[in-house]
Chain A
Amino acid sequence: MLSPYELVVLLSCLVSLILFGYIAYEFLRVYRRLRARSLLYLSASFFLLALSQASSVLSILVESARLSLTFYTLTSSLAAASFFLIVVSVSEEEKAVVVAPIAMSAPDLLACALAAAASVTCEGRQLRAYLVALSMVHMLRFLSALLLHSDAGALLLALAEVARALATLPFAIFHVGRVVGRE
């Protein structure tokens, strides 16, 4: 028996599944008439989004926690693959505008997530605070890379580097000094 929570999520997923399927079908229909490759990519993308919703439905319906968790992660993986297809389908000029900043900023996003994860797993209040600060710095750098074509991007980058220096100064003087003192 499904709970009201599961019913709401399930119905929402089913509605999205039907709509994504319809969009994928329409794009495919237009592609068969016009033969424009980008339409084929878009159709495939929405088909993957529909599959992603089907996976979400399965994550609610299956009884095994292991399978449910696998379908839960598959939902996001299918959506990521769908967006990847949309990104590769754009023209070379658009790619320079859209893909280049994403590729450039991706390591900062990764560094932000890893610093946040390290702050949770590490011991010591100062070290944790410092890692949280570094995580924020990389988030700022990520945003600055996305806005690098504007003044805001350059300002954010400067802000990130100032914040990094300000966070590192007390850490280097007090915390590292204490560790060296104990040694």
Chain B
Amino acid sequence: MKLRIALILIAVVLIIAAVPLYVYSSYPYSSSEEEAILEENVIEPMPFRPPRFLVGSVIYGSTREVVSIRGPMVEHYDDHLLIKFGGNKRGLLLLAPSYVETSTNKVVLGEHLAELISRGGDLTVKVVAFTTRRGSYAIVVEVVKDGERYIMAPQRR
């Protein structure tokens, strides 16, 4: 009888813990800023703010890579910008609402950097590329142009 109860307990613990632990350990790393940008651009528009697990499910089913692009190739598609990265891949270019210039602490808007990137030329863009079931997305985390380095400003939700 004791053996039966022990076996039942082991089975219960396995049923409870196996999948959640696997999900937690295999979840790809992503910062809260990246999550916020993906939530805004990939999941919304929704009639309500999506619950966090919906955001998590989009990120969980994705691959994440950090790519540095020198002289980025950007294409306009309707109101959106597409950027080429990693060979022939193409993703929707996403920017945070604001960025900070590291030496002067000057804050610039994401739109300003989008213009800068779309003009091309001698600049380096570091993006975090997510390939999800809904498509590929390149989130700009850093832009370097003429010695000025812009990084993503922390966002408040």
A interface residues, Cβ below 8 angstroms from B: 3-6, 9, 48, 59-60, 62-74, 76-78, 80-81, 84-85, 88
Q: B interface, by DSSP: helix, strand, loop or mixed?
A: helix
A-B contact pairs, 10 of them (CB 8 A): A5-B49, A48-B12, A62-B52, A65-B52, A66-B59, A69-B60, A70-B20, A71-B20, A73-B23, A80-B15
Q: How far is the CB of B130 from chain A (nearest CB, A)?
A: 13
B56 partner, pick from A3, A4, A60, A68, beta carbons under 8 A:
A68
B interface residues, Cβ below 8 angstroms from A: 8, 11-12, 15-20, 23-24, 27, 30, 32, 35, 47-49, 51-53, 55-57, 59-60, 157
A128 to B21, CA, bound (A): 32
Q: How far is the CB of B50 from chain A (nearest CB, A)?
A: 8
Residue with the greatest number of chain A CB neighbours at <10 A, chosen from B19, B35, B52: B52
Complex contact B20–A74 (CB within 8 A): yes
Complex contact B16–A78 (CB within 8 A): yes
A72 to B48, CA, bound (A): 19
Complex contact B49–A3 (CB within 8 A): yes
Complex contact B56–A66 (CB within 8 A): yes
- Starting from the known contacts A66-B27, A70-B27, 20 additional A-B residue pairs (CB-CB under 8 Å) come to A4-B48, A6-B48, A6-B51, A9-B51, A59-B52, A63-B52, A68-B52, A68-B55, A68-B56, A69-B23, A69-B53, A69-B60, A70-B23, A72-B53, A72-B57, A73-B20, A73-B23, A77-B15, A77-B19, A85-B8
Complex contact B52–A64 (CB within 8 A): yes
Please, which residue of chain A has its CB at the minimum distance from the CB of B38? Answer: A65
B11 partner, pick from A67, A74, A78, A84, beta carbons under 8 A:
A84
B48 partner, pick from A5, A65, A67, A88, beta carbons under 8 A:
A5
